[in-house]
Amino acid sequence: MFHSKVFPFSAIVGQENLKLCLILNAINPGIGGVLIRGEKGTAKSTTVRGLADILPPPFSLVTLPLNATEDRVTGGMDFNRAIKEGKKILQPGVLAEAHQGILYVDEINLLDDHIVDIILDAAASGMNRVEREGISFCHPASFMLVGTMNPEEGDLRPQLLDRFGLCVEVVSEKDPELRVILMEERERYDQDPDQYRSVHGKENQTLAEIIKQAGLLLPRVKITKPSRAFIAELCSTNNVAGHRCDIVLEQAAKAHAAWLGHTEVTLDDIGIVAGFALFHRKRDAAPPPPPEPPQPDKDELDKDQPDKNQDDNEQNEDPEQTGQENPGPPDKEEPGQEGIDKEPGEMETPDKNQENAPETGGDKNPQDPEQVFEVGASFQVKKISSPKDRKMRRGSGRRSRSRVSQKQGRYVKSSMKRINNDVALDATLRAAAPFQAARDIPQGLMVCLKPEDIREKIREKRMGNFLVFLVDASGSMGARGRMAASKGAILSLLLDAYQKRDRVAMVSFRKSEAWVNLPPTSSIELAASYLKEMPVGGRTPLSAGLEKTHQLVNNALNRDPGTRPIVLIITDGKSNVALGENKPVDEALMFASKMGEDDRVKYIVVDTESQGIVTFGLAPKIAAAMGADCCKIDDLKAEALVGLARASA
Amino acid sequence: MEKREIFPFTAIVGQEQMKLALILNVINPALSGVLIRGEKGTAKSTAVRALAEILPQIEVIKRCPFRLQASETGEICKKCVVGDCPSSRDMDCVPETCMAAIKVIELPVGATEDRVVGTMDLEHALKKGEKRVDPGILAAAHRGILYVDEVNLLDDHVVDVLLDSAAMGVNTIEREGVSFSHPARFTLVGTMNPEEGELRPQLLDRFGLCVSIEGAHDPEERVAVMERRAEFDDDPKAFCQRWQEESRALSNKIERGISLYPRVTIERPLLFEIASFCLDVGVDGHRGDIIILKTAKTLAAYHGRTEVTSQDVAHGAELALPHRIRRKPLQEVASDVNALRNQNRKGKAV
């Protein structure tokens, strides 16, 4: 609408890969867009806006707001004309505005999945089909899709990743000289934007001209059979799924050739663009996730990767590595430090634990010394969510679907109940239609609407849950590296909880009592630091733990009945301290079945008992009593789920 | 009704970093805000509210609901569906302007998205077939200070809206096929108690500066806090009058800083110092460099100099970096930037 001034594209320091990817897409829209992955403050938006600024007029930049609703994206009924002229006409949405331009989606991984689906569908087909609110409409929508994401905030689903033609990783410049130049340019711009823009106007024009010429040359660029074979080979050695990668690579290579002004694709062209097409598609022989940047500081995220996990496991089996010598939690790790220290993600050696554990780990000895175990390897967690219900909620987050009482989320149906003036125009008109003949229609309008006609939208969206961790911290958990593995699992769940914007609480039990280590909070950081320091030792008062959790959850439900608690019980189930007169195990089972009666709460029991000759199988019994799912730590892993699906396919 | 007196900014005991960060933002709005992290009862809100008293005046268009400046009119006024200022009807008229103080607008934690973004009166539209817009908090905050108490407790989608307008300087009101945009550039001031949850990284990054504060440990200082508070409660009016002189002096110092800022220069070696600082502690992106530079320049202007010193740079880094230092997932925000840098350097030397 109004043009805020744009930093000139040609004056942007560094980010050559990003610039190249954008230019190639401008030359050849057939490439299918760019996904920009990377940290904050690396000129992602500036570069995209800068490019849009130099492209010829029909090329406009449309930014999708983070809070856009479905009707805003696809377009909805034009109510002015519906009422004034009595016509059903589509008011164009973001997709129509972006036609023949750039659609820029900042933080695409934070958008509602169904909106991402709509956008990618339109991007792939070049058409926007609207079949909603009583309108059926179709209009061309071919645009260059540019998305940005910060992987810390959660990844995109692989299907969605694949839809982006190219993917480029941006990092900040490490060369001080470049950083200084960058600051200088920025200051110069800020001091007098207009002056600065006019200084760089010429370079921008030259660049725009080259892009235009390359676009004209593109149809004449040829690709030879050996070059195609090279592309095919690249794709197959990187184990990409499907053929989209081959096609994208060919288009990108052609654009690159045109960019350099030749009419035949060379192997160099292919080599240069291959990285961008393969980045998000290449897979190891095993399951798919995209490779994380090899940054030492993001190691913990790297643990999500299967190959990395394997490394860890290897390390864990390495008897040289002693964990026991690390008394208590290590000093706070310094963030900038290049992973020299042992990372919290690295698992304690189970072997060593085992050596010490048999004496200390036995539940019989109440004089157990307390120990603090390291946090084990973390991993990508599979999807956990509560079942759908009909309750209206307010809130935000990204875990479970719920009806919402705010103007957000997907319009699923309409209702006569008036809550928030979120009018469903289609339903309102339909409700009013039968009475039009009998009503006096006001001057200048075609329809007469009365308050009783008005229908409101019922919407649905994802929301965060309340995750309660009930952690068994008794001596038996110390054995066989169970605690390290459990802590790793909890840490993984916490990372997941951050991305889904959950609230968390933590209860632990050992010796003869249970404690609320962490009252309900949104501070996942706090939870993680408590987890790191959680001591282990003593007997197993499971029923006390259950009772405490029950209290905590009930309090939360009393305060806000809309809360959806998910309780994760991490234990081997070997209860040996009772609150009352009954046998400890019986008492725990009794509590469990009582707690299971409340269907507002979802329980998941994570059984930490390792497979052996003698297993007690008590955790599954508790789970059965609760009507809860029971799983092993490994079952929580996202890869396990993929593996399962594969096996059944 | 008599005007309620506000505790004067200059009378706040201690909390120098916080006060400084706020003042720097007044001098240079390009610093884009402060995040104040700290426990309860540390004069966070008092300081932000008191800021209103010492803010300079800006030129605004008369009766404009969006507090536009003369250069911003045009396209938007043609489509304006709120105001009754002459420029919304007559395009050729030169809009009348007046001077008005910069405002501090508070965004309550429970605010709904509607309240923040602004709403379209849909019922009115359905009945009469015409649009009517009720501007929200973001409209009011344009060119002013947007204060969010407990910013970490904001609903996620309100955060989304804030991020959008902070990034683009534009707020869009959209309902059912109606869309209206207006400029919304503001200095974001947030307070939070970290125990109640962290901010999302993108929002964190939007705050130019970050200060951590705690209650005073010195008994003498604590006594001074109590005394001043009691004095104020006793007779607010007299108290404010007593501090008027100081407030005026500060206002003048700020205004001098504003006029001096464009002339502040920095030598190249100091730019290298900034770059190496960021590289040493490890920050994401380049916003850290840019904000340190701007902070250092603003500091120089505030102290009446036209030349940035290395102390300015060090001080700027202290204010601009704590929340930008790259953290492992689930790690807490750093407290002492300089110590961290030295430690990292030592680590590298070994």
Rounded to two decimals, the ipTM of the complex is: 0.84
CB within 8 A of A335, min separation 6: which ones? Answer: A297, B281, B282, B325, B326, B327, B328, B331, B334, B340
Task: Determine whether the interchain pair A150/B183 forms a contact, defined as Cβ–Cβ distance below 8 Å.
Answer: no
Strand-pairing partners, residue A146, are A34, A104
Task: Select the residue of B75, B129, B282 nearest A1 (Cβ to Cβ).
Answer: B75
Task: Determine whether the interchain pair A525/B331 forms a contact, defined as Cβ–Cβ distance below 8 Å.
Answer: yes
Matching residue, tokens 């405490």:
A548
Query: Which chain A positions have a beta carbon within 8 Å of B161's beta carbon?
Result: 65-67
- Range from A294-298, A463-467, B280-284 that averages highest in pLDDT: B280-284
A110-122 as b/e: b if 16+ CB within 10 A: bbbeebbebbbbb
Q: What CATH class is the domain A1-172? A: alpha beta
Rounded CA separation A351/A345 (Å) = 17
Read off the pLDDT of residues B95-152 as tens digits, 9 standing for 90 and up: 777 888 888 899 888 787 778 888 777 666 666 666 677 888 998 888 889 999 888 8
Q: Tokens at residue A165, please?
A: 């033609």
Shortest CA gap A457–chain B (Å) = 11
Burial class (CB in 10 A: 0-12, 13-18, 19+), A374: buried
Count of C-beta atoms within a 10 Å radius of residue B114? 18
Question: pLDDT over 70 for what percent of chain B?
Answer: 85
Task: Select the residue of A396, A421, A445 nearest B122 (Cβ to Cβ).
Answer: A421
Question: Is B259 in the A-facing interface, judged by CB distances under 8 Å?
Answer: no
Confidence of residue B311 (pLDDT cuts 50, 70, 90): very high
CB within 8 A of B150, min separation 6: which ones? Answer: B109, B191, B192, B193, B196
Q: Rounded mean pLDDT of A69-96?
A: 78
B91-110 as b/e: b if 16+ CB within 10 A: eeeebeeeeeebbbbbbeee
Read off the pLDDT of residues A554-571 as tens digits, 9 standing for 90 and up: 888 877 777 788 888 888
Read off the pLDDT of residues B231-260 as tens digits, 9 standing for 90 and up: 999 898 899 889 989 999 999 999 999 999
**β-strand pairing of A34-38 with A166-170:** parallel
Mutate to test the interface with B, among A73, A149, A172, A182 (most CBs of B within 10 A): A172
Residue closest to A390 by CA, chosen among A413, A407, A424? A413
Confidence of residue B178 (pLDDT cuts 50, 70, 90): low
Minimum Cα–Cα distance from B343: chain A residue: A334
Shortest CA gap B15–chain A (Å) = 25
Residue closest to B134 by CA, chosen among B148, B116, B118, B123? B118
Sheet hosting strand A400-404, strand order edge to edge: A392-393, A400-404, A456-463, A410-415
Which residues 231-250 of B are in CB contact (within 8 Å) with A? none
Single-letter residue type at B31? L
Distance of CA B135 to the CA centre of its chain: 21
Shortest CA gap B333–chain A (Å) = 9
pLDDT at B44 over 70: yes
| Model pLDDT, residue B183 | 85
Q: Tokens at residue B243, please?
A: 């501090």
Query: Which chain B positions have a beta carbon within 8 Å of A48's beta carbon?
Result: none
Which of A84-88, A283-287, A363-367 is the least confident region? A363-367
Q: What is the DSSP-derived secondary structure letter of residue A296?
A: G
B158 or B306, greater pLDDT: B306
Question: Is B115 in the A-facing interface, judged by CB distances under 8 Å?
Answer: no
Minimum Cα–Cα distance from A186: chain B residue: B290
Confidence of residue B324 (pLDDT cuts 50, 70, 90): confident
Rounded CA separation A598/A617 (Å) = 24
Residue closest to A374 by CA, chosen among A535, A573, A504? A535
Task: Determine whether the interchain pair B112/A406 forms a contact, defined as Cβ–Cβ distance below 8 Å.
Answer: yes
Shortest CA gap A65–chain B (Å) = 6
The CATH classification number of A216-291 equals: 1.10.8.80
Question: Is B109 in the A-facing interface, judged by CB distances under 8 Å?
Answer: no
Of 3.40.50.2000, 3.40.50.410, 3.40.50.1370, 3.10.310.30, which CATH number belongs to A297-321+345-384+465-648? Answer: 3.40.50.410
Is the separation of the CB atoms in A637 and A606 below 8 Å? no
Render A191-233 in DSSP notation, one character per residue: H-HHHHHHHHHHHHHHHHHHHHHHHHHGGG-B--HHHHHHHHH
| Helix, coil or strand: residue A648 | helix
Task: Read off φ and ψ for residue A636, nearest 5 degrees.
Answer: -75, -15
Mutate to test the interface with B, among A1, A300, A446 (most CBs of B within 10 A): A1
Query: Which chain A positions have a beta carbon within 8 Å of B284's beta carbon?
Result: 39-42, 172
Minimum Cα–Cα distance from B130: chain A residue: A80
A vs B, Cβ pairs < 8 A, gives 230
Domain residue ranges in chain A? 1-172, 216-291, 297-321+345-384+465-648, 401-461
CA B189 vs CA A224, A232, B44, B250, B273: distances in Å: 59, 54, 10, 20, 28
Matching residue, tokens 């809309």:
A562
Query: Which chain B positions have a beta carbon within 8 Å of A69's beta carbon?
Result: 174
Read off the pLDDT of residues B54-63 as tens digits, 9 standing for 90 and up: 888 888 877 7
Shortest CA gap B321–chain A (Å) = 13
| Model pLDDT, residue A333 | 39
Query: Which chain A positions have a beta carbon within 8 Å of B170's beta carbon?
Result: 1-2, 4
Strand-pairing partners, residue A503, are A466
Rounded CA separation A471/A484 (Å) = 12
Confidence of residue A4 (pLDDT cuts 50, 70, 90): low
Catalytic residues of B: 287
Burial class (CB in 10 A: 0-12, 13-18, 19+), B255: middle
Task: Determine whether the interchain pair B157/A182 forms a contact, defined as Cβ–Cβ distance below 8 Å.
Answer: no
Confidence of residue A442 (pLDDT cuts 50, 70, 90): confident
Strand-pairing partners, residue B38, are B213
Q: How far apart are the first and last CA of chain B?
A: 68
Residue closest to B113 by CA, chosen among B76, B62, B155? B155
Read off the pLDDT of residues A115-170 as tens digits, 9 standing for 90 and up: 888 888 888 888 888 876 667 888 888 888 999 988 777 777 777 788 899 999 99
| Residue of A49, A244, A480, A503 marked catalytic | A244
Rounded CA separation B64/A314 (Å) = 67
Read off the pLDDT of residues A521-551 as tens digits, 9 standing for 90 and up: 777 777 888 888 888 888 888 888 888 888 8
Domains and CATH numbers, chain B: 9-56+102-213 (3.40.50.300), 263-349 (1.10.8.80)
pLDDT at B217 over 90: no
Element housing B100 (H / E): strand B97-101
Q: Rounded mean pLDDT of B215-235?
A: 89
Rounded CA separation A104/A66 (Å) = 11
pLDDT at A352 over 70: no
Question: Is B316 in the A-facing interface, judged by CB distances under 8 Å?
Answer: no
Confidence of residue A364 (pLDDT cuts 50, 70, 90): very low
Active-site residue, A179 included: no
Residue closest to A170 by CA, chosen among A206, A154, A146? A146
Shortest CA gap A646–chain B (Å) = 31
Task: Select the residue of B129, B176, B179 nearest A84 (Cβ to Cβ).
Answer: B129
| Model pLDDT, residue A303 | 41
| Model pLDDT, residue B93 | 62
Shortest CA gap A335–chain B (Å) = 5
Is the separation of the CB atoms in B56 and B26 below 8 Å? yes
Confidence of residue B19 (pLDDT cuts 50, 70, 90): very high
**Integer-rounded Cα radius of gyration of chain A:** 29
- Do A297-321+345-384+465-648 and A216-291 have the same topology in CATH? no
Task: Select the residue of A79, A179, A454 nearest B176 (Cβ to Cβ).
Answer: A79
Task: Select the residue of A445, A494, A523 nearest B195 (Cβ to Cβ).
Answer: A523
Is the separation of the CB atoms in B181 and B138 below 8 Å? no
Is the separation of the CB atoms in B121 and A79 below 8 Å? no
| Helix, coil or strand: residue B105 | strand
Read off the pLDDT of residues A278-290 as tens digits, 9 standing for 90 and up: 988 887 654 434 4
| Model pLDDT, residue B328 | 62
**β-strand pairing of A456-463 with A34-38:** unpaired
CB within 8 A of B203, min separation 6: which ones? Answer: B151, B159, B162, B163
| Model pLDDT, residue A124 | 80
Question: Is B20 in the A-facing interface, judged by CB distances under 8 Å?
Answer: no
Minimum Cα–Cα distance from A447: chain B residue: B127
Question: pLDDT over 70 for what percent of chain A?
Answer: 78
